C-alpha cells in the first residue's frame, strides 16, 4: 500500500504542477515526478506479479508506461497523462481493497476491545 501511496502522490503532484504552472516551469515538477513513477512503478509491478493480482498488475504496467509518457511528453498532454496515473492507482487500490473484503482479509478494520 505504501508503493501505491507514493505513486498516487507523485501523480497528484504532477497533475497539480501541470495545471498550476506554465509550460517552461512545469517540467521542473513533472520530470522528477515521472522519474519517481518509473522507478516505483517497476517495484509495483514486481509486488503485483509475485502473488498474481491481475487488475493491480495491469494498473502498475499502465502506470509505468504513463510515467515514461509523462517524461517525454510536452505541452498540454501532460495533464491527461498525470490524471491517468492517478486514476490507475485509485483503480488498483480499489481492486485490492475489494478482493480483501471478499475474502475477509487485511483491509478490514479490526478495532481493539
User: What are 16-32's pLDDT values in tens digits?
Assistant: 999 999 888 889 999 99
Residue 108's pLDDT band (boundaries 50, 70, 90)? low
Match 522507478 to its residue by C-alpha cell.
Answer: 39
**Does 112 fall in a domain?**
no
Contact 71, 81 (CB under 8 A): no
Contacts of 64 (CB under 8 A, 6+ apart): 37, 38, 41, 42, 44, 45
Domain range for 34 is 2-102
Task: Say what the pLDDT of residue 105 is.
Answer: 56
What pLDDT, on a 0 to 100 scale, did the predictor assign at position 83? 96
Is residue 109 assigned to a domain?
no
How would residue 109 be classed by pLDDT, with cut points 50, 70 and 90?
low
pLDDT of residue 104: 64
In the block, cell 515514461 appears at: 68
**Domain assignment present for 97:** yes
46-76 pLDDT, tens digit each: 999 998 889 999 999 999 999 999 999 887 8
Most confident range, picked from 4-13, 15-24, 91-100, 104-113? 4-13
Q: Are 78 and 22 contacting, i.e. CB atoms less than 8 angstroms apart?
A: no
Nearest CA-CA partner of 64 in 37, 32, 35, 82 = 37
Distance separating alpha carbons of residues 58 and 84, to the nearest angstrom: 13
Q: Establish if 108 belongs to a structural domain.
A: no
Cα–Cα distance, 60 to 89 (Å, whole number) = 8
Residue 79 is assigned to a structural domain of this protein: yes
The tally of domains found in the chain comes to: 1
Amino acid at each position: 500500500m505504501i508503493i501505491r501511496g507514493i505513486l498516487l502522490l507523485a501523480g497528484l503532484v504532477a497533475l497539480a504542477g501541470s495545471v498550476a504552472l506554465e509550460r517552461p516551469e512545469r517540467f521542473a515538477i513533472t520530470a522528477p515526478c515521472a522519474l519517481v513513477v518509473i522507478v516505483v512503478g517497476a517495484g509495483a509491478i514486481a509486488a503485483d506479479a509475485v502473488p498474481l493480482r491481475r487488475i493491480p498488475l495491469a494498473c502498475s504496467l499502465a502506470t509505468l508506461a504513463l510515467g515514461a509518457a509523462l517524461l517525454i511528453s510536452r505541452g498540454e498532454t501532460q495533464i491527461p497523462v498525470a490524471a491517468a496515473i492517478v486514476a490507475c492507482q485509485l483503480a488498483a487500490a480499489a481492486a485490492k481493497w475489494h478482493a480483501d473484503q471478499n475474502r475477509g482479509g487485511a483491509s478490514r478494520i479490526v478495532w481493539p476491545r
